[in-house]
Chain A
């Protein structure tokens, strides 16, 4: 699993080469341990932060902080680490914005940080990855889905897709970018947890 990531990435990301943990190991850890927590993390942030439009920025900042810390040493308990980081971030933000969010603070106090064990969700995901991917694909906007399908499944080039759908290559690119983001949100984000509870 670890070897799936090109170990040489350090060589072409010299700014990262000085970290104590190898970039390949760090990326692998991040993808394996942190990204699957995204749905729970987003939920936690929503519960504890009033301005919902801040959520994507908060998630990103939690990731950035986790990444910075993990460069020195990979946290042994990723789940606890991620949620503690999120908690600290919210407290920092509240101080900075001089907000007193009574209910937020009280919820932070009662936050139960679950032990690090693979959740049933993750096992289920591993079991039926292809079906899950297909469902995520099906949930894309129709045109985006069409473009992504033609590129990723049918293997058509961007130029061929542009020709077939009578759109510009720039539009093809836009759909591919949007599609990738939507798929990532579906696979890691909030939508993932609400669906898997059904």
Chain B
């Protein structure tokens, strides 16, 4: 066979293996047999397979849902707004300040995979991510909220006379005229500042120093400490990609990526094999499209995807 014919066959194998979604043991046996015929077949296959892998990054060009256009008025207001994101995951977290406002507070919640935008009378906006619960203080112009569960992005109109206060996992986040992004995990709260200033403190533990954050700062609060490091704005914007309905992974382990998908979907991805869990992936995926992710895992790593009633198992 000429190089031309071999390449043509190899391209067909790669596309079938990587892309068709139907790959049976018989197909594998046929591919093995073809590869065994000559080293030329192996190198041609590897070459095109490597090209397929590289071009898989093109998924990142997938258009995301367009952002809602903002009115010029809103754009002006945003200059004076504070924006931040908070994630409060984990049911075990103690919500120290939860009780006082509970009776009258208005509650907003999202189902798994859903998002919701809440507009406050002062023009502030809060976007709730998947499986989240937020309560907003009563009154005509609330300036306090409680994130009981999940994740949210806040664009708060700044008012120096009445700073916006968010309570999360017993911490208090006070907007000091800033834009910032905050993220927490079970028993862990992360606040990242995009612009301006904000203060994170612990009202129920006066021994802890409050952290004042400036742009690029990321504060990580665990049960009894707050530490501050730096993060790039690009990395921060990736964390906000859920607002466009996508998840962005940059050399993320499959374990972490699966955990992220599991926040958005009832059907959970399970990776029992720790070696598989450590594989890393790069890509942008619709947060509600688990199959786009499992297809990629299957295609890139040759993993097996088993779809059962309750879960999706990824194995070798």
Which residues in A have some Cβ–Cβ distance to B below 8 Å?
A: 3-4, 6-9, 12-16, 27, 30-31, 35, 56-57, 59-61, 63-68, 129-130, 133-134, 136-137, 151-155, 157-158, 173, 176-178, 180-181, 183-184, 187-188
Given known A60-B6, A152-B59, contact A187–B48 (CB-CB < 8 A): no
Contact B44 A177 (CB under 8 A): no
8 contacts between A and B (CB under 8 A): A57-B3, A60-B3, A65-B39, A134-B61, A152-B58, A155-B292, A180-B51, A184-B50
**Number of A-B pairs whose CB atoms are under 8 Å?**
125
Q: Which residue of B lies closest to A137 (CB)?
A: B58
Q: Mark B285-316, 1 if CB is under 8 A from A, else 0.
A: 00000001000000011110000000000001
The answer to whether A180 and B279 touch across the interface, beta carbons within 8 angstroms, is no
Asked if B3 contacts A153 (CB within 8 A), the reply is no
* Interface pair A13/B32, CB less than 8 Å apart: yes
A63-B47, A177-B12, A181-B8 known; A153+B19 contact, CB < 8 A: no
Q: CB distance A63 to B279 under 8 Å? A: no
- The minimal Cβ–Cβ distance linking B277 to chain A, given in whole angstroms, is 11
B interface secondary structure, majority: helix
Partner of A31 from B42, B50, B60 at Cβ < 8 Å: B50
The prevalent SS among residues of A at the interface is helix
User: Which of B46, B48, B56, B275 sits near A181, CB closer than 8 Å?
Assistant: B48
Answer yes or no: B204 CB below 8 A from chain A CBs.
no
Closest residue of chain A to B59 (Cβ to Cβ) is A153
The answer to whether A56 touches B57 (Cβ under 8 A) is no
Tell whether B259 is near chain A: CB-to-CB under 8 Å. Answer: no
Tell me the smallest distance from the CB of B51 to a CB of chain A, in Å. 4
Which residues of chain B are within 8 angstroms of A56 by Cβ–Cβ distance?
A: 2-4, 7
The verdict on B229 contacting chain A, using a C-beta distance below 8 Å, is no
Q: What B residues does A14 contact at CB under 8 A?
A: 32
B50 adjacent to A134 (CB under 8 Å): no
Interface residues on B, range: 35 or more
Interface residue ranges, B against A (CB under 8 Å): 2-4, 6-8, 11-12, 14-15, 19-21, 28, 32, 35-36, 38-40, 42-44, 46-48, 50-52, 54-62, 275, 278-280, 292, 300-303, 316
Of A8, A30, A133, A184, which one neighbours B58 at CB under 8 angstroms? A133
Selected contact of B40 from candidates A8, A15, A64, A155, CB within 8 Å: A64
Complex CA distance for A9 and B302, rounded to whole angstroms:
9
Residues of A within 8 A of B21 (CB): 157
Task: Report the separation of the CA atoms of residues A60 and B47 in the bound assembly, to the nearest whole angstrom.
Answer: 10
- The one of A12, A30, A133 that contacts B55, using a Cβ cutoff of 8 Å: A133
